[in-house]
């Protein structure tokens, strides 16, 4: 353990852990749950490494009490999880599924009984397959379906949930799932995926309004953000990096925080009555969630794209930019560079860009894939994860000391889990999961984080 741990966060700073439904729940055919796009995607040969699926995952659906006990021992004040939309509405519309609601009743009540604040996300990429069959996020109708879904959740859980998240990382669904086809539903639409961004943002705005109408409050969004670093000082690389930065960062933050798109070209590419929609998208939120992992190094498109710089995803031709490897930094086992100073950089950029339009910030995800398993003594000695957390939290402490209003930090993730297209090959958890026996083993990093929280 690092004795000299990061300090300076204050007694009211919220410490938590994060997960998502498809990555940990399992039970995909139980309790009246309908099929999701990820069930369909996993069933398609070649989509997921080693043919893995989320059918069982960590079996949190049955073992949630054991996992809440781990959180209680860890000492976290909050747990960020996600509702599985197809568990609540199997077809994405119509009456709620009583068994699905009952599962989340049990989870939320167990969290509250242990003094842990539930912080649910309404949508973490598991679209009901029935809605995808109708066009999914390309179909504007899904925004009204999402608002209805939000109303159901507010009515059922609004009396017990003190903090809400509408969407997780709309950039990933837009560009990875509909743009290049690496995530469910596996579309390869390139820039024709931009309506997916608009419809997610519109769904977010409608959900904020629906939650508030249902008596819920303290609402935010969890969006993925990181600095974009040009591959060189050339005008071509600088321009390519600017395009990437706009698409990956400001396309998703500007409409929510400023009520407008970053430029007129993007606004013109969006479907529907864009000006009217932006008034809904810009519905004021109570806080803004930032998921952060690593910066991106971007150059002009000259056929030198580094697939390792984008989760190993093959980069299609025709884009005006290419990811390049960021050299000179340690790497996680997923190949992501470990750059603690980038954490502070993106938070300072948000403060500079949005000023008094920026609400309080919560770090809704931050973590790393370190694939250490139990040693001969049964201990998972993941020192590289401890080093990662120590560095990133020191960077976070610096911006807190500068007066940037960051009120909490959710570590990704409580458990080793199903890591999307990478299957079970990457371990992000503070707790090791044996995916054969489902035995949970807290790692050295779990104890380090527990000691940090206790201090």
- Pairwise CA distance, residues 354 & 114, whole Å: 37
CA distance 267 to 277: 11
Name the phi and psi angles at 78, rounded to 5: -150, 155
Q: Is 398 a catalytic residue?
A: no
Handedness of CA 210, 213, 219, 220 (dihedral sign): positive
Q: What letter would DSSP give residue 190?
A: G
Q: How many residues are recorded in the chain?
A: 455
Select which of 110, 132, 169, 345 is catalytic.
169
State how far the Cα of 423 lies from the Cα of 421, in Å rounded to an integer: 5
Q: How far is CA 115 from CA 67, 94, 413, in A?
A: 14, 34, 19
Q: How far apart are CA 366 and CA 389, in angstroms?
A: 9
Q: Say if strands 296-299 and 228-230 run parallel, antiparallel, or are unpaired.
A: parallel
Does 365 participate in catalysis according to the annotation?
Answer: yes
Catalytic residue chosen out of the listed positions 25, 322, 365, 419: 365
Contacts of 11-15 with CB under 8 Å at 24 or more apart are: 12/407, 13/400, 13/407, 13/408, 13/409, 14/77, 14/78, 14/117, 14/362, 14/407, 14/408, 14/409, 15/75, 15/76, 15/77, 15/78, 15/408, 15/409, 15/449, 15/452, 15/453
Using alpha carbons only, give the angle 136, 138, 140 rounded to the nearest 5 degrees. Answer: 90
207 and 151 Cβ atoms separated by less than 8 Å: no
- Beta strands 440-442 and 431-433: pairing type? antiparallel
Q: Count the Cβ atoms, other than its own, within 10 Å of residue 370.
A: 22
Pairwise CA distance, residues 422 & 445, whole Å: 22
Place of tokens 């940037």: 404
The residues that are catalytic are 169, 365
């Amino acid at each position: 353990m690092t004795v000299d741990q990061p300090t300076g966060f204050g007694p009211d700073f919220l410490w938590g852990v994060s997960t998502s439904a498809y990555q940990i729940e399992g039970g995909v055919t139980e309790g009246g749950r309908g099929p999701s796009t990820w069930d369909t995607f996993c069933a398609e040969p070649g989509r997921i490494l080693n043919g893995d699926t989320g059918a069982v995952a960590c079996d949190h659906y049955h073992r949630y009490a054991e996992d809440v006990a781990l959180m209680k021992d860890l000492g976290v004040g909050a747990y960020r999880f996600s509702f599985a939309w197809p568990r609540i509405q199997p077809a994405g519309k119509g009456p709620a599924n009583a068994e699905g609601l009952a599962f989340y009743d049990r989870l939320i009540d167990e969290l509250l009984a242990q003094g842990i604040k539930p912080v649910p996300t309404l949508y973490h990429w598991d679209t009901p397959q029935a809605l995808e069959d109708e066009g999914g996020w390309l179909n504007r109708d899904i925004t009204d379906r999402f608002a209805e879904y939000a109303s159901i959740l507010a009515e059922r859980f609004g009396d017990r949930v003190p903090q809400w998240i509408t969407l997780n990382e709309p950039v990933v669904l837009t560009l990875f799932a509909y743009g290049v086809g690496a995530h469910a539903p596996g579309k390869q639409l390139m820039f024709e995926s931009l309506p997916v961004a608009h419809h997610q943002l519109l769904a977010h705005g409608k959900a904020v309004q629906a939650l508030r109408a249902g008596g819920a409050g303290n609402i935010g969004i969890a969006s993925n953000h990181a600095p974009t670093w040009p591959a060189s000082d050339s005008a071509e690389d600088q321009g390519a990096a600017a395009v990437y930065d706009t698409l990956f960062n400001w396309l998703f933050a500007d409409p929510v925080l400023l009520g407008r798109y970053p430029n007129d070209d993007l606004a013109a590419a969006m479907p529907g009555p864009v000006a009217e929609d932006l008034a809904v998208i810009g519905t004021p939120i109570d806080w803004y969630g930032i998921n952060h992992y690593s910066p991106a190094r971007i150059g002009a498109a000259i056929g030198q794209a580094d697939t390792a710089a984008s989760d190993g995803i093959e980069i299609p031709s025709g884009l005006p930019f290419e990811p390049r490897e960021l050299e000179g930094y340690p790497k996680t086992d997923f190949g992501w560079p470990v750059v603690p100073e980038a954490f502070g950089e993106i938070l300072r950029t948000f403060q500079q860009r949005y000023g008094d339009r920026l609400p309080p910030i919560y770090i809704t995800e931050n973590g790393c894939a370190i694939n250490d398993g139990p040693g001969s003594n049964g201990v998972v000695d993941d020192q590289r994860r401890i080093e990662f957390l120590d560095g990133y939290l020191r960077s976070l402490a610096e911006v807190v000391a500068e007066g940037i209003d960051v009120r909490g930090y959710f570590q990704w993730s409580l458990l080793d889990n199903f890591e999307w297209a990478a299957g079970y090959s990457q371990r992000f958890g503070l707790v090791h999961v044996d995916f054969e026996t489902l035995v949970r083993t807290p790692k050295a990093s779990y104890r380090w984080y527990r000691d940090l929280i206790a201090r």
